[in-house]
Structure 1
Protein backbone atom coordinates (compact mmCIF):
# COMPACT_ATOMS: atom_id res chain seq x y z
CA UNK A 1 0.00 0.00 0.00
CA UNK A 2 1.66 3.22 -1.16
CA UNK A 3 -1.22 5.68 -1.03
CA UNK A 4 -1.60 7.59 2.26
CA UNK A 5 -4.39 6.59 4.64
CA UNK A 6 -6.71 8.79 6.65
CA UNK A 7 -6.05 9.30 10.35
CA UNK A 8 -9.18 10.37 12.26
CA UNK A 9 -8.95 12.45 15.45
CA UNK A 10 -12.49 13.31 16.46
CA UNK A 11 -16.13 13.65 15.42
CA UNK A 12 -17.77 17.06 15.71
CA UNK A 13 -20.16 19.59 14.29
CA UNK A 14 -18.65 22.59 12.56
CA UNK A 15 -18.54 25.89 14.42
CA UNK A 16 -17.56 29.48 13.75
CA UNK A 17 -13.80 29.98 13.69
CA UNK A 18 -13.04 26.27 13.44
CA UNK A 19 -11.52 26.33 9.96
CA UNK A 20 -9.19 29.16 10.92
CA UNK A 21 -8.13 27.37 14.11
CA UNK A 22 -7.28 24.19 12.21
CA UNK A 23 -5.16 26.13 9.76
CA UNK A 24 -2.48 26.57 12.43
CA UNK A 25 -2.60 23.02 13.79
CA UNK A 26 -0.29 20.21 12.72
CA UNK A 27 -1.45 16.67 13.22
CA UNK A 28 0.29 13.30 13.27
CA UNK A 29 3.52 13.22 11.24
CA UNK A 30 3.24 17.00 10.85
CA UNK A 31 0.27 16.67 8.51
CA UNK A 32 -2.33 19.37 8.04
CA UNK A 33 -5.80 18.80 9.48
CA UNK A 34 -9.03 18.97 7.47
CA UNK A 35 -12.71 18.16 7.96
CA UNK A 36 -14.53 15.28 6.27
CA UNK A 37 -18.30 15.58 6.12
CA UNK A 38 -20.86 12.85 6.66
CA UNK A 39 -21.39 10.92 3.41
CA UNK A 40 -25.05 11.90 3.04
CA UNK A 41 -24.29 15.59 3.57
CA UNK A 42 -25.46 15.64 7.17
CA UNK A 43 -24.23 17.81 10.00
CA UNK A 44 -21.47 15.56 11.32
CA UNK A 45 -17.80 15.98 10.45
CA UNK A 46 -14.56 14.25 11.35
CA UNK A 47 -11.19 15.94 11.75
CA UNK A 48 -8.61 13.96 9.79
CA UNK A 49 -5.11 14.00 8.31
CA UNK A 50 -3.33 12.02 5.60
CA UNK A 51 -0.56 9.85 7.09
CA UNK A 52 1.92 7.34 5.62
CA UNK A 53 0.21 3.99 5.15
CA UNK A 54 3.36 2.03 6.01
CA UNK A 55 3.35 3.42 9.57
CA UNK A 56 -0.22 2.38 10.30
CA UNK A 57 -0.50 -1.08 8.78
CA UNK A 58 -1.27 -3.63 11.46
CA UNK A 59 2.20 -5.19 11.68
CA UNK A 60 3.98 -1.83 11.63
CA UNK A 61 1.59 -0.37 14.16
CA UNK A 62 2.28 -3.20 16.60
CA UNK A 63 5.98 -2.40 16.41
CA UNK A 64 5.41 1.33 16.74
CA UNK A 65 3.29 0.89 19.86
CA UNK A 66 6.39 -0.51 21.59
CA UNK A 67 8.44 2.53 20.55
CA UNK A 68 7.80 5.05 23.32
CA UNK A 69 9.27 7.98 21.38
CA UNK A 70 7.03 7.30 18.36
CA UNK A 71 4.01 6.71 20.57
CA UNK A 72 4.58 9.92 22.51
CA UNK A 73 4.90 11.97 19.30
CA UNK A 74 1.65 10.55 17.92
CA UNK A 75 -0.17 11.01 21.23
CA UNK A 76 0.96 14.63 21.54
CA UNK A 77 -0.16 15.46 18.00
CA UNK A 78 -3.47 13.62 18.49
CA UNK A 79 -4.12 15.52 21.72
CA UNK A 80 -3.12 18.88 20.23
CA UNK A 81 -5.67 18.53 17.41
CA UNK A 82 -8.46 17.54 19.79
CA UNK A 83 -7.71 20.39 22.19
CA UNK A 84 -7.73 22.89 19.32
CA UNK A 85 -11.14 21.58 18.25
CA UNK A 86 -12.51 21.54 21.80
CA UNK A 87 -11.80 25.26 22.15
CA UNK A 88 -14.45 25.92 19.50
CA UNK A 89 -17.02 23.12 19.65
CA UNK A 90 -18.07 19.88 21.32
CA UNK A 91 -15.90 16.99 20.19
CA UNK A 92 -16.00 13.20 20.41
CA UNK A 93 -12.33 12.19 20.64
CA UNK A 94 -11.45 9.02 18.77
CA UNK A 95 -8.94 6.47 19.94
CA UNK A 96 -5.27 6.95 19.24
CA UNK A 97 -4.31 5.56 15.80
CA UNK A 98 -7.86 5.33 14.42
CA UNK A 99 -7.10 4.99 10.71
CA UNK A 100 -9.32 4.51 7.63
CA UNK A 101 -8.38 3.65 4.07
CA UNK A 102 -9.51 7.04 2.79
CA UNK A 103 -11.79 10.01 3.43
CA UNK A 104 -14.73 8.27 1.79
CA UNK A 105 -14.66 5.51 4.39
CA UNK A 106 -14.71 8.15 7.12
CA UNK A 107 -17.77 9.77 5.54
CA UNK A 108 -19.47 6.38 5.39
CA UNK A 109 -18.75 5.74 9.07
CA UNK A 110 -20.30 9.09 9.98
CA UNK A 111 -23.45 8.23 8.01
CA UNK A 112 -23.75 4.75 9.49
CA UNK A 113 -23.20 5.94 13.06
CA UNK A 114 -25.13 9.23 12.84
CA UNK A 115 -27.72 8.44 15.52
CA UNK A 116 -25.28 7.31 18.18
CA UNK A 117 -22.73 10.02 17.45
CA UNK A 118 -25.38 12.73 17.50
CA UNK A 119 -26.72 11.51 20.86
CA UNK A 120 -23.21 11.56 22.29
CA UNK A 121 -22.58 15.09 21.03
CA UNK A 122 -25.83 16.31 22.57
CA UNK A 123 -24.93 14.68 25.89
CA UNK A 124 -21.45 16.21 25.96
CA UNK A 125 -22.42 19.68 24.81
CA UNK A 126 -21.18 22.26 27.31
CA UNK A 127 -19.24 19.65 29.30
CA UNK A 128 -15.55 18.89 29.74
CA UNK A 129 -13.55 16.24 31.55
CA UNK A 130 -11.71 16.75 34.85
CA UNK A 131 -9.33 14.26 36.41
CA UNK A 132 -9.10 13.51 40.13
CA UNK A 133 -6.13 11.58 41.50
CA UNK A 134 -5.72 10.65 45.16
CA UNK A 135 -2.28 9.76 46.53
CA UNK A 136 -1.01 8.23 49.74
CA UNK A 137 2.07 10.27 50.58
CA UNK A 138 5.43 8.61 51.41
CA UNK A 139 5.90 7.95 55.13
CA UNK A 140 9.07 8.87 57.11
CA UNK A 141 11.92 6.41 56.76
CA UNK A 142 11.66 3.86 59.58
CA UNK A 143 15.38 3.30 59.99
CA UNK A 144 16.10 7.01 60.32
CA UNK A 145 13.33 7.30 62.92
CA UNK A 146 14.75 4.35 64.80
CA UNK A 147 18.23 5.84 64.85
CA UNK A 148 16.82 9.05 66.26
CA UNK A 149 15.15 7.05 69.01
CA UNK A 150 18.41 5.31 69.87
CA UNK A 151 19.94 8.58 71.01
CA UNK A 152 17.35 9.32 73.62
CA UNK A 153 13.96 10.11 72.10
CA UNK A 154 12.75 6.52 72.74
CA UNK A 155 13.43 6.55 76.45
CA UNK A 156 16.84 4.91 76.36
CA UNK A 157 15.76 1.84 74.35
CA UNK A 158 18.43 -0.23 72.66
CA UNK A 159 18.93 0.45 68.95
CA UNK A 160 17.12 -2.79 68.07
CA UNK A 161 14.06 -2.05 70.17
CA UNK A 162 14.00 1.54 68.98
CA UNK A 163 14.07 0.35 65.37
CA UNK A 164 11.17 -2.08 65.92
CA UNK A 165 9.14 0.64 67.63
CA UNK A 166 9.81 2.97 64.69
CA UNK A 167 8.73 0.27 62.24
CA UNK A 168 5.48 -0.26 64.12
CA UNK A 169 4.89 3.47 64.18
CA UNK A 170 5.52 3.71 60.44
CA UNK A 171 3.10 0.87 59.67
CA UNK A 172 0.49 2.52 61.87
CA UNK A 173 0.98 5.86 60.07
CA UNK A 174 0.71 4.16 56.68
CA UNK A 175 -2.45 2.31 57.68
CA UNK A 176 -3.92 5.59 58.87
CA UNK A 177 -3.04 7.22 55.55
CA UNK A 178 -4.80 4.45 53.61
CA UNK A 179 -7.89 4.83 55.78
CA UNK A 180 -7.80 8.58 55.19
CA UNK A 181 -7.45 8.01 51.44
CA UNK A 182 -10.51 5.76 51.44
CA UNK A 183 -12.41 8.43 53.32
CA UNK A 184 -11.27 11.05 50.81
CA UNK A 185 -12.33 8.84 47.89
CA UNK A 186 -15.81 8.41 49.38
CA UNK A 187 -16.18 12.16 49.89
CA UNK A 188 -15.00 12.97 46.35
CA UNK A 189 -17.37 10.42 44.85
CA UNK A 190 -20.26 11.92 46.83
CA UNK A 191 -19.38 15.38 45.48
CA UNK A 192 -19.23 13.98 41.96
CA UNK A 193 -22.60 12.30 42.42
CA UNK A 194 -24.24 15.67 43.07
CA UNK A 195 -22.27 17.82 40.60
CA UNK A 196 -21.03 15.67 37.69
CA UNK A 197 -22.87 14.36 34.66
CA UNK A 198 -20.59 11.31 34.46
CA UNK A 199 -17.91 9.42 36.38
CA UNK A 200 -15.33 6.93 35.13
CA UNK A 201 -12.87 4.99 37.32
CA UNK A 202 -9.53 4.37 35.62
CA UNK A 203 -6.77 1.99 36.62
CA UNK A 204 -4.40 3.62 39.10
CA UNK A 205 -1.08 4.78 37.69
CA UNK A 206 2.02 2.73 38.41
CA UNK A 207 5.60 2.49 37.19
CA UNK A 208 6.69 5.19 34.74
CA UNK A 209 3.17 6.63 34.60
CA UNK A 210 3.28 7.38 38.32
CA UNK A 211 5.79 10.19 38.09
CA UNK A 212 4.46 12.10 41.11
CA UNK A 213 5.53 11.37 44.68
CA UNK A 214 3.25 9.04 46.61
CA UNK A 215 1.18 6.01 45.69
CA UNK A 216 -1.74 6.65 43.36
CA UNK A 217 -4.81 4.94 44.87
CA UNK A 218 -7.61 6.68 42.90
CA UNK A 219 -7.51 7.78 39.26
CA UNK A 220 -10.96 8.99 38.22
CA UNK A 221 -12.51 11.20 35.57
CA UNK A 222 -15.60 13.37 35.97
CA UNK A 223 -17.76 14.96 33.29
CA UNK A 224 -18.69 18.47 34.35
CA UNK A 225 -20.59 21.35 32.86
CA UNK A 226 -18.55 24.51 32.41
CA UNK A 227 -20.64 26.23 35.09
CA UNK A 228 -20.05 23.50 37.68
CA UNK A 229 -16.32 22.99 37.12
CA UNK A 230 -14.92 25.70 39.42
CA UNK A 231 -17.12 24.71 42.35
CA UNK A 232 -16.31 21.03 41.88
CA UNK A 233 -12.56 21.70 41.88
CA UNK A 234 -12.77 23.80 45.04
CA UNK A 235 -14.84 21.25 46.94
CA UNK A 236 -12.66 18.31 45.90
CA UNK A 237 -9.42 20.01 46.94
CA UNK A 238 -10.96 20.86 50.31
CA UNK A 239 -11.51 17.15 50.97
CA UNK A 240 -7.79 16.61 51.67
CA UNK A 241 -7.69 19.26 54.39
CA UNK A 242 -7.13 17.63 57.76
CA UNK A 243 -6.39 14.19 56.29
CA UNK A 244 -2.81 13.27 57.10
CA UNK A 245 -0.80 11.48 54.43
CA UNK A 246 -3.29 12.19 51.61
CA UNK A 247 -2.85 14.39 48.54
CA UNK A 248 -5.51 15.16 45.91
CA UNK A 249 -4.69 16.49 42.45
CA UNK A 250 -7.38 17.89 40.15
CA UNK A 251 -6.45 18.26 36.47
CA UNK A 252 -8.30 19.68 33.52
CA UNK A 253 -10.27 20.76 31.75
CA UNK A 254 -9.82 18.19 28.98
CA UNK A 255 -11.83 17.09 26.02
CA UNK A 256 -14.09 14.26 27.26
CA UNK A 257 -11.82 11.33 26.32
CA UNK A 258 -13.17 9.08 29.07
CA UNK A 259 -16.83 9.52 28.15
CA UNK A 260 -16.97 8.48 24.51
CA UNK A 261 -16.88 5.10 22.80
CA UNK A 262 -15.41 4.53 19.35
CA UNK A 263 -17.92 4.44 16.48
CA UNK A 264 -19.75 1.12 16.20
CA UNK A 265 -18.50 -1.71 18.36
CA UNK A 266 -15.23 -1.80 20.25
CA UNK A 267 -13.61 -3.88 17.49
CA UNK A 268 -12.03 -2.54 14.33
CA UNK A 269 -14.37 -1.73 11.48
CA UNK A 270 -13.97 -3.79 8.31
CA UNK A 271 -13.31 -0.70 6.23
CA UNK A 272 -10.47 0.58 8.38
CA UNK A 273 -6.92 0.36 7.16
CA UNK A 274 -5.48 -3.15 7.74
Structure 2
Protein backbone atom coordinates (compact mmCIF):
# COMPACT_ATOMS: atom_id res chain seq x y z
CA UNK A 1 0.00 0.00 0.00
CA UNK A 2 1.16 3.51 -0.78
CA UNK A 3 1.98 5.48 2.37
CA UNK A 4 1.95 9.17 3.13
CA UNK A 5 3.40 11.08 6.08
CA UNK A 6 1.15 12.83 8.57
CA UNK A 7 3.11 15.75 10.02
CA UNK A 8 2.30 16.68 13.63
CA UNK A 9 4.98 19.27 14.25
CA UNK A 10 8.55 20.45 14.08
CA UNK A 11 10.94 20.31 17.06
CA UNK A 12 14.60 20.94 17.72
CA UNK A 13 16.53 17.81 16.91
CA UNK A 14 18.49 17.95 20.17
CA UNK A 15 15.26 17.88 22.19
CA UNK A 16 13.77 14.78 20.57
CA UNK A 17 16.60 12.58 19.33
CA UNK A 18 16.74 10.62 22.61
CA UNK A 19 12.98 10.55 23.29
CA UNK A 20 10.86 7.40 23.16
CA UNK A 21 7.80 7.69 20.89
CA UNK A 22 6.86 4.07 20.30
CA UNK A 23 4.01 4.09 22.84
CA UNK A 24 2.40 7.27 21.54
CA UNK A 25 -0.97 7.17 19.85
CA UNK A 26 -1.13 8.23 16.20
CA UNK A 27 -3.78 9.71 13.95
CA UNK A 28 -4.66 6.37 12.36
CA UNK A 29 -3.92 4.12 15.33
CA UNK A 30 -1.91 1.81 13.12
CA UNK A 31 1.63 3.12 12.67
CA UNK A 32 4.20 4.46 15.12
CA UNK A 33 5.44 8.03 15.49
CA UNK A 34 8.72 8.62 13.69
CA UNK A 35 11.29 11.43 13.94
CA UNK A 36 12.96 12.62 10.76
CA UNK A 37 15.90 14.95 11.46
CA UNK A 38 17.13 17.68 9.15
CA UNK A 39 19.77 20.19 10.24
CA UNK A 40 18.85 21.60 13.67
CA UNK A 41 15.23 20.52 13.34
CA UNK A 42 13.26 17.30 13.34
CA UNK A 43 9.86 16.50 11.89
CA UNK A 44 7.54 14.39 14.05
CA UNK A 45 5.41 12.24 11.75
CA UNK A 46 3.59 8.96 11.40
CA UNK A 47 2.96 7.05 8.16
CA UNK A 48 -0.65 7.00 6.96
CA UNK A 49 -2.28 5.20 4.07
CA UNK A 50 -3.51 6.81 0.87
CA UNK A 51 -6.75 4.88 1.25
CA UNK A 52 -7.53 6.86 4.41
CA UNK A 53 -5.62 10.15 4.06
CA UNK A 54 -5.14 10.62 0.34
CA UNK A 55 -6.18 13.96 -1.14
CA UNK A 56 -9.35 12.69 -2.81
CA UNK A 57 -10.38 10.70 0.27
CA UNK A 58 -9.87 13.74 2.53
CA UNK A 59 -12.08 15.89 0.31
CA UNK A 60 -14.91 13.54 1.25
CA UNK A 61 -13.99 12.85 4.87
CA UNK A 62 -13.44 16.48 5.85
CA UNK A 63 -17.13 17.01 5.06
CA UNK A 64 -18.09 14.26 7.51
CA UNK A 65 -18.49 16.00 10.86
CA UNK A 66 -18.13 12.87 13.01
CA UNK A 67 -14.85 11.94 11.33
CA UNK A 68 -13.49 15.51 11.56
CA UNK A 69 -14.38 15.83 15.25
CA UNK A 70 -12.81 12.48 16.11
CA UNK A 71 -9.59 13.05 14.18
CA UNK A 72 -9.21 16.73 15.07
CA UNK A 73 -9.54 15.89 18.76
CA UNK A 74 -6.97 13.10 18.39
CA UNK A 75 -4.63 15.46 16.51
CA UNK A 76 -4.91 17.94 19.38
CA UNK A 77 -4.31 15.25 22.01
CA UNK A 78 -1.17 14.11 20.20
CA UNK A 79 0.13 17.69 20.08
CA UNK A 80 -0.61 18.10 23.80
CA UNK A 81 1.53 15.03 24.50
CA UNK A 82 4.32 16.14 22.19
CA UNK A 83 4.55 19.62 23.71
CA UNK A 84 5.36 18.00 27.05
CA UNK A 85 8.33 16.30 25.43
CA UNK A 86 9.84 19.17 23.45
CA UNK A 87 9.42 22.72 22.19
CA UNK A 88 7.02 22.25 19.30
CA UNK A 89 5.80 24.09 16.22
CA UNK A 90 2.38 22.45 15.87
CA UNK A 91 1.11 21.81 12.37
CA UNK A 92 -2.45 22.23 11.19
CA UNK A 93 -4.87 19.33 11.26
CA UNK A 94 -4.31 16.97 8.32
CA UNK A 95 -0.94 18.28 7.20
CA UNK A 96 -0.01 15.49 4.80
CA UNK A 97 3.22 14.96 2.84
CA UNK A 98 3.39 12.67 -0.17
CA UNK A 99 6.70 11.09 0.83
CA UNK A 100 9.83 11.55 2.92
CA UNK A 101 11.39 13.27 -0.08
CA UNK A 102 8.57 15.85 -0.06
CA UNK A 103 9.11 16.39 3.64
CA UNK A 104 12.85 16.86 3.21
CA UNK A 105 12.22 19.51 0.56
CA UNK A 106 10.04 21.40 3.02
CA UNK A 107 12.62 21.00 5.75
CA UNK A 108 15.31 22.28 3.43
CA UNK A 109 13.22 25.34 2.56
CA UNK A 110 12.19 26.24 6.13
CA UNK A 111 14.71 24.65 8.51
CA UNK A 112 16.53 27.90 9.32
CA UNK A 113 13.30 29.79 9.95
CA UNK A 114 11.87 26.98 12.07
CA UNK A 115 15.07 26.71 14.13
CA UNK A 116 14.96 30.43 14.95
CA UNK A 117 11.28 30.20 15.89
CA UNK A 118 11.85 27.16 18.11
CA UNK A 119 14.63 28.95 19.97
CA UNK A 120 12.21 31.84 20.54
CA UNK A 121 9.48 29.51 21.82
CA UNK A 122 11.75 27.48 24.07
CA UNK A 123 10.71 27.69 27.72
CA UNK A 124 7.39 29.36 26.96
CA UNK A 125 3.73 28.33 27.11
CA UNK A 126 0.51 29.47 25.50
CA UNK A 127 -2.41 30.32 27.79
CA UNK A 128 -5.83 31.46 26.60
CA UNK A 129 -8.05 33.91 28.46
CA UNK A 130 -11.71 34.71 27.90
CA UNK A 131 -13.37 37.55 29.83
CA UNK A 132 -17.13 37.62 30.33
CA UNK A 133 -19.39 40.22 31.88
CA UNK A 134 -22.97 40.06 33.11
CA UNK A 135 -24.25 43.42 31.78
CA UNK A 136 -27.12 43.55 34.26
CA UNK A 137 -24.77 43.64 37.24
CA UNK A 138 -22.46 46.20 35.65
CA UNK A 139 -25.43 48.32 34.60
CA UNK A 140 -26.57 48.53 38.22
CA UNK A 141 -23.14 49.75 39.27
CA UNK A 142 -22.93 52.30 36.47
CA UNK A 143 -26.44 53.60 37.10
CA UNK A 144 -25.74 54.00 40.81
CA UNK A 145 -22.28 55.58 40.71
CA UNK A 146 -21.85 57.48 37.42
CA UNK A 147 -22.00 61.22 38.34
CA UNK A 148 -23.57 62.31 35.03
CA UNK A 149 -26.38 59.80 35.48
CA UNK A 150 -27.18 60.99 38.99
CA UNK A 151 -27.28 64.59 37.78
CA UNK A 152 -29.52 63.68 34.84
CA UNK A 153 -31.94 61.87 37.12
CA UNK A 154 -32.29 64.95 39.29
CA UNK A 155 -33.04 67.05 36.21
CA UNK A 156 -35.64 64.55 34.96
CA UNK A 157 -37.43 64.54 38.34
CA UNK A 158 -38.21 68.24 37.84
CA UNK A 159 -39.80 67.72 34.41
CA UNK A 160 -43.41 67.05 33.43
CA UNK A 161 -44.50 63.40 33.24
CA UNK A 162 -44.54 63.48 29.45
CA UNK A 163 -41.00 64.81 29.28
CA UNK A 164 -39.86 62.41 32.00
CA UNK A 165 -40.88 59.41 29.89
CA UNK A 166 -38.85 60.56 26.88
CA UNK A 167 -35.84 61.60 28.94
CA UNK A 168 -35.82 58.34 30.89
CA UNK A 169 -35.68 56.47 27.57
CA UNK A 170 -32.68 58.56 26.57
CA UNK A 171 -31.09 58.03 29.96
CA UNK A 172 -31.47 54.24 29.67
CA UNK A 173 -29.77 54.39 26.29
CA UNK A 174 -26.97 56.51 27.78
CA UNK A 175 -26.50 53.99 30.59
CA UNK A 176 -26.25 51.13 28.08
CA UNK A 177 -23.60 53.08 26.19
CA UNK A 178 -21.67 53.65 29.41
CA UNK A 179 -21.80 49.93 30.18
CA UNK A 180 -20.20 49.15 26.82
CA UNK A 181 -17.52 51.78 27.47
CA UNK A 182 -16.87 50.37 30.94
CA UNK A 183 -16.51 46.87 29.50
CA UNK A 184 -14.01 48.03 26.89
CA UNK A 185 -12.07 50.12 29.38
CA UNK A 186 -11.85 47.18 31.77
CA UNK A 187 -10.53 44.67 29.26
CA UNK A 188 -8.06 47.19 27.80
CA UNK A 189 -6.58 47.90 31.21
CA UNK A 190 -6.39 44.30 32.33
CA UNK A 191 -4.86 43.27 29.00
CA UNK A 192 -2.16 45.91 29.42
CA UNK A 193 -1.40 44.60 32.89
CA UNK A 194 -1.15 41.01 31.68
CA UNK A 195 0.88 41.97 28.62
CA UNK A 196 3.66 43.13 30.94
CA UNK A 197 4.01 39.51 32.08
CA UNK A 198 4.00 38.04 28.56
CA UNK A 199 6.37 37.68 25.65
CA UNK A 200 3.64 38.12 23.06
CA UNK A 201 -0.15 38.23 22.75
CA UNK A 202 -2.65 37.31 20.04
CA UNK A 203 -6.14 38.79 20.19
CA UNK A 204 -8.86 36.34 19.10
CA UNK A 205 -12.44 36.62 17.93
CA UNK A 206 -15.03 37.62 20.52
CA UNK A 207 -18.05 35.31 20.22
CA UNK A 208 -21.68 36.24 20.79
CA UNK A 209 -24.05 34.49 23.17
CA UNK A 210 -25.49 32.23 20.47
CA UNK A 211 -22.04 30.65 20.15
CA UNK A 212 -20.89 30.66 23.79
CA UNK A 213 -24.26 29.59 25.19
CA UNK A 214 -23.66 31.86 28.17
CA UNK A 215 -25.82 34.59 29.68
CA UNK A 216 -22.80 36.87 30.01
CA UNK A 217 -21.28 38.93 27.22
CA UNK A 218 -17.88 37.75 26.01
CA UNK A 219 -15.81 40.93 26.11
CA UNK A 220 -12.31 39.59 25.50
CA UNK A 221 -10.62 36.56 23.97
CA UNK A 222 -6.85 36.44 23.76
CA UNK A 223 -3.87 34.08 23.71
CA UNK A 224 -0.77 34.88 25.77
CA UNK A 225 2.74 33.54 25.22
CA UNK A 226 4.32 33.36 28.66
CA UNK A 227 7.74 32.39 29.95
CA UNK A 228 7.27 29.39 32.23
CA UNK A 229 8.85 31.34 35.09
CA UNK A 230 6.10 33.98 34.79
CA UNK A 231 3.13 31.60 34.54
CA UNK A 232 2.44 31.43 38.28
CA UNK A 233 2.45 35.23 38.54
CA UNK A 234 0.18 35.51 35.50
CA UNK A 235 -2.33 33.01 36.89
CA UNK A 236 -2.29 34.75 40.27
CA UNK A 237 -3.13 38.01 38.51
CA UNK A 238 -6.06 36.33 36.75
CA UNK A 239 -7.33 34.92 40.04
CA UNK A 240 -7.11 38.32 41.71
CA UNK A 241 -8.97 39.99 38.82
CA UNK A 242 -11.69 37.33 39.05
CA UNK A 243 -12.18 37.98 42.74
CA UNK A 244 -12.17 41.77 42.42
CA UNK A 245 -14.53 41.83 39.43
CA UNK A 246 -17.16 39.44 40.75
CA UNK A 247 -19.36 42.15 42.26
CA UNK A 248 -19.67 43.93 38.90
CA UNK A 249 -20.42 40.80 36.90
CA UNK A 250 -16.95 39.95 35.62
CA UNK A 251 -15.87 36.35 35.08
CA UNK A 252 -12.53 35.26 33.64
CA UNK A 253 -11.78 31.83 32.18
CA UNK A 254 -8.16 30.83 31.73
CA UNK A 255 -7.06 27.60 30.03
CA UNK A 256 -3.72 26.08 29.20
CA UNK A 257 -1.00 25.44 28.69
CA UNK A 258 -1.69 24.67 25.04
CA UNK A 259 0.54 23.92 22.07
CA UNK A 260 1.67 27.33 20.80
CA UNK A 261 -1.00 27.49 18.09
CA UNK A 262 -1.10 31.30 17.94
CA UNK A 263 2.63 32.03 18.05
CA UNK A 264 4.21 29.44 15.77
CA UNK A 265 3.23 30.56 12.29
CA UNK A 266 5.57 32.58 10.11
CA UNK A 267 5.10 33.53 6.50
CA UNK A 268 6.98 30.47 5.29
CA UNK A 269 6.11 28.09 8.09
CA UNK A 270 3.08 26.56 6.48
CA UNK A 271 3.62 23.16 4.96
CA UNK A 272 1.97 23.49 1.59
Give me the TM-score of the superposition, normalised by structure 2.
0.75
The aligned counterpart of 1:50 is 47
Give the conservation status (yes or no) of the 8 Å contact 2:40–2:111.
no
Give the conservation status (yes or no) of the 8 Å contact 2:10–2:88.
yes
The aligned counterpart of 1:158 is none
Give the conservation status (yes or no) of the 8 Å contact 1:18–1:85.
no
The aligned counterpart of 1:70 is 67
Structure 2 residue 125 is the aligned partner of structure 1 residue 121: no
1:68 CA displacement: 2.4
Distance 1:168 1:23 in 2: 68
Give the conservation status (yes or no) of the 8 Å contact 1:113–1:263.
no
Distance 2:100 2:211 in 1: 35
Give the conservation status (yes or no) of the 8 Å contact 2:209–2:215.
no
Pair 208,13 (structure 1): closer, same or farther in 2 beyond 3 Å: farther
1:228 CA displacement: 0.6
Pair 17,8 (structure 1): closer, same or farther in 2 beyond 3 Å: closer
Give the conservation status (yes or no) of the 8 Å contact 1:136–1:215.
yes
Structure 2 residue 23 is the aligned partner of structure 1 residue 19: no
RMSD value over aligned CA atoms?
3.1
Structure 2 residue 104 is the aligned partner of structure 1 residue 107: yes
Distance 2:99 2:55 in 1: 16
The aligned counterpart of 1:249 is 253
Give the conservation status (yes or no) of the 8 Å contact 1:18–1:88.
no
Give the conservation status (yes or no) of the 8 Å contact 1:28–1:74.
yes
Distance 2:208 2:48 in 1: 32
> 1:233-252: per-residue Cα shift (whole Å, max 9, x none)?
22133334236122111111
Q: Secondary structure at the match of 1:259?
A: coil
Structure 2 residue 132 is the aligned partner of structure 1 residue 135: yes
The aligned counterpart of 2:88 is 91
The aligned counterpart of 2:27 is 28
Q: How does 1:195-206 map to 2 (within 5 A)?
A: 195-206=197-208
2:196 to 194, 197, 201: 194
1:263 CA displacement: 7.4
Distance 2:216 2:60 in 1: 32
Any unmatched runs of 5+ in structure 1?
141-166, 270-274
Any unmatched runs of 5+ in structure 2?
138-168
Q: Secondary structure at the match of 2:114?
A: helix
Q: Secondary structure at the match of 1:96?
A: coil
Give the conservation status (yes or no) of the 8 Å contact 1:37–1:46.
yes
1:45 CA displacement: 0.7
1:226 CA displacement: 0.2
1:106 CA displacement: 1.5
Give the conservation status (yes or no) of the 8 Å contact 1:136–1:178.
no
Distance 2:258 2:5 in 1: 24
1:180 CA displacement: 3.8
Q: Secondary structure at the match of 1:257?
A: coil
Distance 1:211 1:173 in 2: 25
1:17 CA displacement: 8.6
> 1:93-112: per-residue Cα shift (whole Å, max 9, x none)?
11111110012321221122
